[in-house]
A and B are shown apart, each in its own frame.
Chain A
Amino acid sequence: MPLISVRKVEKHYQLGKTQAPALLGIDLEVDAGERLCLMGPSGSGKSTLLNIIGCIDSSSAGSVVIDGQDTAELDDASLSRFRNKTMGFVFQSFNLIPVLSVFENVEYPLLLQDLPSKERKNRVLALLERVGLAEYWRRNPENLSGGQRQRVAIARALVTRPRLVIADEPTAALDHTTGATIMDLMVEMNESFESTLIFSSHDPAVARYARRIVRLADGRIDSDGAAA
């Protein structure tokens, strides 16, 4: 059974009195452990599809089943718990919480679970060690470089040991070299944590880190195949 099953998903945005289509009948299945890149130009629907798969937005039609759970059946509180336990997010602009230290940022998703403080600390410090930021755990994110911030964001996304990691244009705010380092790290984490990684990019150099590339155009899947 696939980890993610997207069936006939549509998304329309209400713009005043008109409806703007963003996704038009998307069918997609993603197996556990896959590394998938959503490619396509701006406005093709990459982020919208990622948001719907990530349960942070709802579809206008169709169904999304993740890990056997139809996400439409969950209320807000259940959906929040589901996201916390099943998913990790990496954002283009890192989206670290500025009033929390590096350690606290990574620890935050664990606070929403009933984990003892010692286990939380061990997990956070181990992950910061893995992403090469162990010595920065007390720092404020504002005192880190863009690449370092994205490493913190990756650690935060993985700290709950999620089955699915969603990254929306994770290298778009970084220079080429740093972006490549971040993608290397994400691939390494995807393999060692055996999580499923879905990321979006319009950069072919980034897309080559995926094993499977799904190309979107005008809200439809244009092509779906193994990366070259």
Chain B
Amino acid sequence: MRTIAMAWRNIFRQKRRTLIALSALIVGLAGLVAFQGYIARMMSSFRDGTILGGLGHVQVAGGERYWEDGEYDPYAYLLKDANSVIDELRKQPGVLAAFPSTGFTAIAGFGEKSVTLLVKAYPSERMYFSAPAVPGSPPEQAPSDLFRLGLLLAGRAPGPEERDCLVLGETAARILGAKPGDIVTLMGMLPEGALNGRDFTVSGIYRDSGRDKIFAFTDYATAMDFSRIAQPPVVHAILSDPGRADAVMASLPKDLARRGWRDLASYYIQVNTMFAGFLQVIRAIILIVTLFILGNTMNRIVFERMREWGTLRAMGTPRRGLLVLVLLEGSFLGLAGSALGIALGFAASSVVNLFGGLPFRQGAGFPIYMITLAPDARAVWFNMLPAVATAALASLFPARRAVGMTPAECLRQI
């Protein structure tokens, strides 16, 4: 206990030097915690945007291969009884909504122009298009049980009773030269291979980076009628908590093909993994800088206190006791530095959040919205334990130097 008390008190002997030695760790970890908070909230928004952008937290399809080529050939994987799947899903706790979807590939013609479209169809009450931001007004709160399909630039989404309406992507609409109210003709392939053509009214034009060139949306009933199918290829479930996806999937009958959002949102997973790796690299750089700075400081401390080490050894402290004392002092430095850095990171995040957060824009032409920082409480351990270990490592070589000398050699040092 006395060794612990001595090591702890030792770090306050030269407060200014201790603070300077720890500055890299404190500032680095504070920045890392705040940045982690920013990334966490951004990735959380990105995850929700991906899941609610048309995937759902859980999908149940008519076959495992649906997720490989169902986008282009959905008729090959139709469910046997979609309603029973929907009923089964709705029984599970945490399921906010369960509904079918279908889709078909079509050539859209308007006047002299044509484009190829992937038409996605959801029940109209499950489709949500955000309105353009009004400068000065608070950001729109999107419902959490609807698919958010993009920013509505013109027109509107199909109403509950409206049929044969189409929401075109901005790029496709520009190529066709179509605007809300125009009639475009869709020529799509039926399950048997025959072609079906029908006129659709452009009800709206949406923008969504990466999708508005090829994806168009219509209501589920229209798409089922157009495709002449009785069952959809897939059913989606939206959950209140993404963490429940595995439990919901496990509760479904074994013969149903199912996928959770972690398997479906591969782009999100890639980006999240990339950011996690990026944060690890930043943490490693901070720890390496800390290793060198604290190593240098501990070296000086050990050298300056040689007479003290000699005295302790003369009184009977074994080499191991001295080694423990120096390692503890280094570890306490790491503990104090990381605790201060993490506390500063949380405090800085709170201050940023007081001002509404940091601005974020999904892409050019999209509204800017503010992201609040959400530092993870687990960051305390993720950052503190490596920092303490690094500080202990930084103390190891100076400590070995101290115990490598005889007490008399230590006492001779001035």
Binding site for B on A (CB under 8 A): 51, 54, 56-58, 76-77, 80-81, 83-85, 89, 91, 93, 95, 97-100, 104, 107-109, 111-112, 156
Known: A56-B313, A57-B408, A100-B6. A76 touches B319 (CB 8 A): yes
* CA–CA, A109 and B9, complex, Å: 19
Known: A56-B406, A57-B407, A95-B307. A80 touches B313 (CB 8 A): yes
Residue of A58, A76, A95, A156 touching B308 (CB-CB under 8 A): A95
Kindly state whether residue B93 has any CB partner on chain A within 8 Å.
Answer: no
CB distance from B294 to the nearest CB of A (A): 19
Given contacts A56-B313, A77-B319, A99-B10, 8 further A-B contacts (CB under 8 A): A51-B411, A56-B407, A77-B318, A80-B317, A99-B9, A100-B6, A107-B2, A109-B315
Residues of B within 8 A of A76 (CB): 318-319
Known: A76-B318, A80-B317, A109-B315. A97 touches B411 (CB 8 A): no
A-B contact pairs, 24 of them (CB 8 A): A51-B411, A54-B314, A56-B310, A57-B407, A58-B406, A76-B319, A77-B319, A77-B320, A80-B313, A80-B316, A81-B318, A83-B316, A89-B311, A91-B411, A93-B307, A95-B411, A97-B311, A98-B13, A98-B308, A100-B9, A111-B2, A112-B316, A112-B321, A156-B315
- Residues 126-142 of chain B, each 1 if its beta carbon lies under 8 Å from chain A, else 0: 00000000000000000
- Residues 1-21 of chain B, each 1 if its beta carbon lies under 8 Å from chain A, else 0: 010011001100100000000
Residue of B13, B315, B409 touching A99 (CB-CB under 8 A): B13
Residues of A within 8 A of B408 (CB): 51, 56-57
7 tightest CB-CB pairs across the interface, nearest first?
A84-B316, A57-B408, A56-B407, A99-B9, A95-B311, A51-B408, A80-B318
CB distance from A90 to the nearest CB of B (A): 10
How many residues of B are in contact with the other chain, CB < 8 A?
25
Kindly state whether residue B269 has any CB partner on chain A within 8 Å.
Answer: no
CB-based contact A91/B311 at 8 Å: yes
Within 8 A of A (CB), among B289-336: 307-308, 310-321
CB-based contact B2/A89 at 8 Å: no
CB-based contact A97/B406 at 8 Å: no
CB distance from A194 to the nearest CB of B (A): 21
CB-based contact B314/A56 at 8 Å: yes
* CA–CA, A95 and B410, complex, Å: 12
CB-based contact A57/B406 at 8 Å: yes
Residues of B within 8 A of A58 (CB): 406
Residues of B within 8 A of A107 (CB): 2
CB-based contact B317/A112 at 8 Å: yes
CB distance from B304 to the nearest CB of A (A): 12
